[in-house]
Structure 1
Amino acid sequence: MSQYKQQQKSKLIQGNQKLVEAWIKLENVLYTSDPLYDDNVTELNLLDDLKSVRKEEGNQLSKNNNNIKNNINNINNNFNSSSNRNLFVSGNGKRPQTSKTVLNQMQQLRNNTESLRKFQQNRPGSAQFNLSMGQFQGEQFQSSFNQGLNASKKERISKVASLKSLMNLRAQSRPHKAVGVSNNQQEKQDLKILEQIPKEDMSDLHVDQILDLFTAKCLDQKVEYKPEQAVKFIEKIKKQCKKRIFNISEQGLGLESAYTLAHIFQDNQHFQQLILEKNTLGCSGIALIGEALRYNNNIIHLNVQSNDINQDGFVSLFESLLENYSLVSLDLGSKEGLSRNKLNDFSAEHLGDLLRYKDIYQFLKLQGLSISIQGVEQILQGLQVSNSLVYLDISNNQIGVQLTELLYRYLQGTNIQELNISKNEIGDQGVVHLSEMYAIKPKLFRFRKLILSGNRIGSTGASRLFNGIQKNPYLEELVLDDNKFSGKLFCSVQNFLWENQKLKILSLNNCSITKEGGEYIGYGLSKNRFLQEIYLAENMLKDYGAKILANSLKENIALKILDLEGNRIGDEGGIALGNTLNSQEIKLEKVNLKDNKLHDYSGIILAEALRENKRILKFNIDRNPISYKYMDEIQKSVQFNISEKKRRQIPDYMEEMKDLQLFENQKYDNQEKQIQLNKKQRQVEKELEDFIKEKQREENIEFARSKKLEDELQNNTDEYNKMVDEFKYLTIDMEQFMNDIETKIKYTDNNINVARLDINRMNNEVEMSKQSRPQFKKRKQDQLFYQESKLQETIREITKTKAGQEGFQKELSLTRIEIEKLQKKLWRYEQGLDSEDEDEKLQKEIEKQKQIEEQLQKEQIQKELEDKENNKNKKKGGKKASKKKLKSSKNLKSSKNLKANNK
């Protein structure tokens, strides 16, 4: 045990001395640095300094090793307990003990052994002496640096060197967890030294906060904490976190890192943009970030692209953002990779509610989130109420044709300036909807930038689009990259370039444009005076298309950027472009001819053109078979143009300033002249006023006279009109009177004619009747004879039928009588009466009934015969028939009375 204790004591003293000497060296370096040696001082690496110090101290300690051993033997008994041993044992055996722990241990040694205390006090190179001196000098350095003492020496000290050395020292002595396993004793010892090492802030972000974040990152990735890597992490954060932007993308941050970031940004009021893209925060991590943003009203932009966020994470984030009033830009999109975000219908509904209730968002990016058509509709319903959104990106979602219908329905009247719906497969039908939007309601869709790349648009849809936006007053940039055009489309492009006066940027990269299409585009550019940038990369223009474009550039005075990359242009096209660029009237500033088939012939012409043309500031001719000589000449010409432009900027500004000063001086010189002119103007104005007054008085007199004459003339005209009206009324009355008389005369004439015709007709009838009486009588007698014969036949038939009916009725009556007899016999038999007397009575009564029935039948037959005879004799004598009817009616009544009596 004694050997182990001695080893630990020697390690303690060595570590104490090394740390103190390293801190003293750091202080000496900071104070003794050359003031002329400005920010170019090389950054110090404290770990290397510690190694060199250890070597130097090893030699000094070897000389005093014997004296230290003698003093240590006197205090062996002080290290018997386990608690004292723990103070000197390192946590993992890799790092030296911290300075504050060493102070406590040395204080215990000083109290226990007087000999060691005298040795430490008398020996200038001892650990206690060096530590106290280092602390004193460090405090002096910190106070003088903060108060600005000795500014002439310390103003030129490299802040980079001091910052890196401090970061190294803090990273070296920072408490940490190795692969998630904590050492509490080591952490307690390490926490004490943090109070003695100076703290340094970076853009209102404390170094300790960055180290906390690095420790959390190590826990998320399950790697060991390494001070060297921590220092590199701090330097990277220092480079990326500038201009109030906290950019920590692609760092593999997880849940532990999100927890640390939430603590940092809950109170941080310095940063305005938080960029966390391409990490693995997940749903729980983004929920913690959202909770921190509830209380931070300084962040205006949040980027969480590709963080493996799904429904739960987005819902919690949107609910937290309801209480944030500073965020105006939200990037939730996703790029290709393993940590893609996904926005389903439920989370899209929450996003729509957020946009509906918080009308403060100006930029919204939702690319690559696999949104369905229902989710897009819910988001657009929220945007329908918003008046603040100016940028919307819903690209790479493969929604389909229905997307344009929703845009047409919900984006009318909004203030969106830029719309990106690329890679959504809307096709020709979707582009037709967009063209109708622009053609029918151009004032309701004020897009200034429209991106439609990669949407499988053909020639028909594109031609409709160009026709629809031909006279649109808002669209300034149109991107149609990665589509396939051909045929009659380019004729509409030509007409569009001729008529449109607003578009400034047109991009048709990778659109299968051939030399024929280039011809139409060239003719369109020849008459266009407003387009400034055109991109035609990755097409098939070849030499012919390049020649047409070169000729059109001679007439175009507005184009500044021309991109013809990858168009298989050879020397013919390159020479034509070079001859065009040789003129000073061309205003092109950037030309891209990369990846073509240009050789040295083109290189010579282009190099000569760039010597003459001083406007070209960027000329890309890479990946062409041109010799290095000509490419170097071209780049030198471009560099010369850039330098000339920079050189001319100050003189140009000076000339403008002089012009402004001359203008101001002319103002002061012209003040007196202006005063005199004002006086003359006032006199002239007075004279004009007097003249105007006289004119007005004369005009008033003339007006009064003319008014009187007008009144008299008006009275005369009124009287004349009255007389005319009276005459009209009289003429109308006379005409009506004459018309009435004429109608009456016509009516009487008609009556007379009718009476005459009636008299003539009557006379004719009388004569006809006299002539046709005997013939009429014969005809009537014949008709009567024929009718009588028919009646007799019918009577015979009726009598036959009646005779048959009478026989049948007799048989029926006999059967009835027999049945009645039997019934009566039964009744008498039951009552016990005499049968013979009763039978005689019944026979008499039956005979009477038979006689009555025979009379009735005879009367009915006579009646029917009489009716027939009456019908025959109706015309001859109606009175006889009536008498017979009366007789028959009497007979009927009498028969009825008889029946009633019999009953």
Structure 2
Amino acid sequence: MQRTQSNVSILNAWFNLEKALIDAQVPENEQVTIISRPPTSKMMRDYSNYHSQQRTQPLRPLTGLTRPSTAITMKKPIEYQEKTATIQQSQRKMFRKKVNQRPFKKYGFDNIHIQKEEQEGEISEEELNQSTVIHTLDVDQIIDLYHSKCRDRELEYQPEHAVLFIEKFKKLCVDEQFVCEDNQLGLESAKTVRDILLYNNHFSTLRLARNAIGDEGLVELLEMLKVNKNIVHLDFSSNNITADGAFYLFNELIPLHSIISIELSSKDGLNRNKVSVKGCEPIETILKYNHPLQFLGLRGTSIQNAGFECILSGLQTNNTLAYLNVSNNDLNEEACNYMVQYISNCNLVELDLSYNPLGNNGMDYLSRIFDKGSFMLRKLNLAGCEIKSLGILKFFQSLAVNRFLERLILDENHFSGNGFNEIENVLTSRIPLTYLSMAKCSINATGADFIGNGVERNRTLKTLILRDNRLTDAGAECVFKGLFFEKLDLKRCNLTDKCVLGLCSMIKQSTQLTTLLLPDNGFHDSSGIVICEAIRVNSSILNLDICENPLSYKYIDQINKVIESNRLKYELDRVPMYKREIVKLNNIIQQKPTLEKDQNENQQKKARSLQTLEKTIEEKNRVKIEQIQKTTDMDARLQQIQQQSRQMDIDKIKFDNESNMHLIKMDDEINDYQKKMSECHQVITRLEKEIRGLKDQRHVRKGQSDSRLEMLRQLNRAEERALQRAEMEKKQLEERIKAMSGKESITSRRKTKQLSQIIQQKQ
């Protein structure tokens, strides 16, 4: 036993020395000369067994394996612990002395605790300087805050409680955070916080969740924020803020561009915030004008569909908001319809819609957004949204084309139907999903089979949460096909010893698995033996939770020891890994001049390429402009020709009308001539009859007959001249018609030729 403790102390000293050398940035070649004796395997084994015994001593039998952290914390030196204890004791003395100097009266009676003040020893000036300031705040200011708390709650001032309040404040207010949560602070406390932070630029975060500051206290704090521009995060969750207070808050935030994060959620319990629709109206204005607000939490604030519509309307033109939490706000499928209308393209990174009754219809609307593939959401929480197999089928089908979603939470839904088979296509698609949680989703062995087929070919999924499902052994063996998990949670999944062989096979083959959670199942001692051997083979397992199983404590202790050994090995491997990284970085630093030279050459090449590209673009633009000009000219010429063609068509119509009129007129004249000729024929016939009658009487009237014959000859000659003139006019009219028809055909042919030439030039 003494030899074991000696080895442990040597190993502790070796670790501390190596850590000190790394912190001091001692070169690796000098470290070898300083550290003359590295730890042996016997020392490592003694170290592991010693710490296992130290840890298992306070444990009770059959309590299961604890949930340890992934890192091993070394014990600090005794001198450091003693010095820290001395400082804390001195500070506590100072706290007691200061709080006892504060008299307080309630209803006219003196504070009785002043009479019970303990006699403290003399405090040195060094101790006094160490105790008067906590995170840039005087102790008196913190006591003032406790005074205000007592006045808000109508309590008597108690120095002992004031000391505890100061120590709690000192413990919580780290990393530039002013944290005073769950203290029942009211209006007076809000005024005190306003006075404390009015000109204090140390804090960047103000956390006052689970208090009772109300609307009036919120107004006081906003007056401080108008002066103090260093605070960027506000947490007023569960502070009994009404819609009027929220309306005032967001209205005052419009000109305050220093605030980037606001949390107004209502936690479970008292003093719930109620933003409602009225409080969401100024949020629309904030988002529309791209206020630097990046995080907005409105969980359980009764905004309902109308308030959510105001927020979505502001998100249409917003480029800054990255996180939005509207869970537990009675949103239904109408809210999802608003999402389709307003934010098909949005810059949100994380959206929390959990515990809203969206249902299958809501999933139908959401699938329309993801169908486009341009929705850049990276984390989506749909836990407790009353989704069933039909709704998740449509949603999974839309995710097949998404290239952005990385984390998806679907807890507390119901996926026992046939539509869940689409999960296989989602896991085998190109979606970069790294985190998938489906706890309490009524998934059975059939659903686990689809999950197993998907994870078998998936390389991106690192965390899978399937706790509280009825997977059984058959379903679990399907899930064990995935070999690229980093964390797998199968708590309360009805697993027994039958699936332990598949589990151990996955543990041995998986090189990335670090966390495995198997509590509250049916594993017995035989499973414990096999699991212990498997994690000995795979030293990457750093967390294994197998508590609440019918497993003997002996095997739990063995698993504990193996896990501690794996962690120790991991910690030991980290130092050489960091050393190798340092060597690589040093090599990169040494190669910096060469890299800079190459970078300059690449920049010059890039500049030359850009110049060449610009010239090419200019030449192409010039050619394009010339082509556009030619096309414009051709279009103008074509329009001119088309206009001339339309004019020629109009002239043709006019000429045709005139020709028809002339033809009608000539037909009328010919008809008149024909009538006259018929009358002449009738006269001639009558004259011939008279001539025959006169021949008989020639001897009587010979002289008269000669004159009539002469008149007849004249009539015949007049008739012949009239016929000749009619024939000539008819021929002239026919020639004129032929000439006009020929001219028309020539014009139409010319026009057709010009149109064909223009079309060819355009082509």
Q: What's the TM-score, normalizing by structure 2? A: 0.63
Identify the match of residue 465 of structure 1 among 395, 409, 416: 395
- Any conservation in 1 of the 2:325–2:353 contact (CA below 8 Å)? yes
The 1-side partners of 2:310 and 2:591 are apart by: 63
Note the C-alpha offset of 1:535: 0.7
Give SS of 1:292's match.
helix
Give SS of 1:450's match.
strand
1:579-598 map, 5 Å: 579-583=505-509, 585-598=510-523
The 2-side partners of 1:182 and 1:346 are apart by: 47
What's the counterpart of residue 150 of structure 2?
Answer: 218
Give SS of 1:295's match.
coil
Note the C-alpha offset of 1:314: 1.6
1:753-902 map, 5 Å: none
The 1-side partners of 2:84 and 2:217 are apart by: 39
- Any conservation in 2 of the 1:538–1:564 contact (CA below 8 Å)? yes
Summarize deviations over 1:28-49 as a string: whole Å, max 9, x none. xxxxxxx995443586xxxxxx
Distance 1:36 1:435, change over 3 A: closer
Give SS of 2:198's match.
helix
Identify the match of residue 328 of structure 1 among 256, 260, 263: 260
Give SS of 2:351's match.
strand
Identify the match of residue 106 of structure 2 among 175, 178, 195: 178
Which amino acid counterpart does residue 223 of structure 2 have in structure 1? E
What's the counterpart of residue 153 of structure 1?
Answer: none
What's the counterpart of residue 898 of structure 1?
Answer: none
1:71-82 map, 5 Å: none
Summarize deviations over 1:315-370 as a string: whole Å, max 9, x none. 23223323422110000110221211101222221232233346110000011001
Which amino acid counterpart does residue 400 of structure 1 have in structure 2? N
The 2-side partners of 1:602 and 1:36 are apart by: 42
Note the C-alpha offset of 1:313: 1.7
What's the counterpart of residue 484 of structure 1?
Answer: 414
Q: Say if 2:404 is the partner of 1:474.
A: yes
Identify the match of residue 458 of structure 2 among 505, 528, 544: 528
Identify the match of residue 269 of structure 1 among 182, 201, 212: 201
Note the C-alpha offset of 1:498: 1.6
Q: Say if 2:503 is the partner of 1:577.
A: yes
The 1-side partners of 2:102 and 2:218 are apart by: 28
- Any conservation in 2 of the 1:296–1:324 contact (CA below 8 Å)? no
Which amino acid counterpart does residue 97 of structure 2 have in structure 1? L
Note the C-alpha offset of 1:575: 3.2
Q: What percent identity do the matched residue pairs reach?
A: 37
Which amino acid counterpart does residue 417 of structure 2 have in structure 1? G
Q: Say if 2:583 is the partner of 1:655.
A: no
Note the C-alpha offset of 1:372: 2.4
The 1-side partners of 2:512 and 2:594 are apart by: 39
Distance 1:283 1:661, change over 3 A: closer
Which amino acid counterpart does residue 293 of structure 2 have in structure 1? Y
- Any conservation in 2 of the 1:237–1:248 contact (CA below 8 Å)? yes
The 2-side partners of 1:599 and 1:526 are apart by: 28
Which amino acid counterpart does residue 287 of structure 1 have in structure 2? V
What's the counterpart of residue 89 of structure 2?
Answer: 161
Give the gaps of 5 or more residues in structure 1.
Answer: 1-34, 44-157, 187-195, 679-903
Q: What's the TM-score, normalizing by structure 1? A: 0.54
Summarize deviations over 1:463-512 as a string: whole Å, max 9, x none. 11111011211111111110000232232111221223411111111100
Distance 1:451 1:181, change over 3 A: farther
Give SS of 1:518's match.
helix
Identify the match of residue 40 of structure 1 among 64, 74, 82: 82
The 1-side partners of 2:312 and 2:594 are apart by: 62
What's the counterpart of residue 425 of structure 1?
Answer: 357
- Any conservation in 1 of the 2:363–2:395 contact (CA below 8 Å)? yes
Summarize deviations over 1:200-221 as a string: whole Å, max 9, x none. 1111111111000000111111
1:595-744 map, 5 Å: 595-661=520-586
What's the counterpart of residue 567 of structure 1?
Answer: 493
Summarize deviations over 1:510-541 as a string: whole Å, max 9, x none. 10000111111111111112211111110000
Note the C-alpha offset of 1:292: 1.4
Identify the match of residue 496 of structure 1 among 396, 420, 426: 426
Note the C-alpha offset of 1:665: 6.7
What's the counterpart of residue 513 of structure 1?
Answer: 443
Distance 1:376 1:605, change over 3 A: same
The 2-side partners of 1:36 and 1:534 are apart by: 43
Identify the match of residue 285 of structure 1 among 217, 221, 242: 217
Give SS of 2:454's match.
helix
Give SS of 2:408's match.
strand
Distance 1:314 1:601, change over 3 A: same
Note the C-alpha offset of 1:633: 1.3
Give SS of 1:364's match.
strand
What's the counterpart of residue 453 of structure 1?
Answer: 383
- Any conservation in 2 of the 1:571–1:599 contact (CA below 8 Å)? yes
The 2-side partners of 1:414 and 1:670 are apart by: 39
Identify the match of residue 204 of structure 1 among 121, 126, 136: 136
The 1-side partners of 2:412 and 2:108 are apart by: 49
- Any conservation in 2 of the 1:453–1:481 contact (CA below 8 Å)? yes
- Any conservation in 1 of the 2:185–2:213 contact (CA below 8 Å)? yes
Summarize deviations over 1:300-319 as a string: whole Å, max 9, x none. 11001111110222223223
The 1-side partners of 2:419 and 2:190 are apart by: 52
- Any conservation in 1 of the 2:186–2:214 contact (CA below 8 Å)? yes
- Any conservation in 1 of the 2:254–2:286 contact (CA below 8 Å)? yes
Which amino acid counterpart does residue 647 of structure 1 have in structure 2? L
- Any conservation in 2 of the 1:276–1:305 contact (CA below 8 Å)? yes
Which amino acid counterpart does residue 205 of structure 2 have in structure 1? Q
Note the C-alpha offset of 1:176: 2.8
Distance 1:666 1:334, change over 3 A: closer
More contact order relative to length (CA 8 Å, sep ≥ 6) = 2
- Any conservation in 2 of the 1:365–1:393 contact (CA below 8 Å)? yes
Distance 1:652 1:586, change over 3 A: closer
Mean CA deviation greater in 215-224 or 314-323: 314-323
The 1-side partners of 2:527 and 2:536 are apart by: 14
Q: Say if 2:170 is the partner of 1:238.
A: yes
Give SS of 1:223's match.
coil
The 2-side partners of 1:670 and 1:288 are apart by: 56
What's the counterpart of residue 403 of structure 1?
Answer: 335
Which amino acid counterpart does residue 305 of structure 2 have in structure 1? I
Distance 1:278 1:670, change over 3 A: closer
The 2-side partners of 1:168 and 1:178 are apart by: 21
Q: Say if 2:314 is the partner of 1:382.
A: yes
Which amino acid counterpart does residue 333 of structure 1 have in structure 2? S
Identify the match of residue 373 of structure 2 among 430, 436, 442: 442
Give the gaps of 5 or more residues in structure 2.
Answer: 1-76, 115-124, 602-763
Q: Say if 2:247 is the partner of 1:315.
A: yes
What's the counterpart of residue 883 of structure 1?
Answer: none
1:539-558 map, 5 Å: 539-550=469-480, 552-553=481-482, 556=483, 558=484
Distance 1:179 1:377, change over 3 A: farther
What's the counterpart of residue 781 of structure 1?
Answer: none
Distance 1:36 1:454, change over 3 A: closer
The 1-side partners of 2:513 and 2:316 are apart by: 42
Summarize deviations over 1:545-570 as a string: whole Å, max 9, x none. 112222x13xx3x3211111110100
Distance 1:180 1:610, change over 3 A: farther
Greater percentage in helix:
1
What's the counterpart of residue 323 of structure 2?
Answer: 391
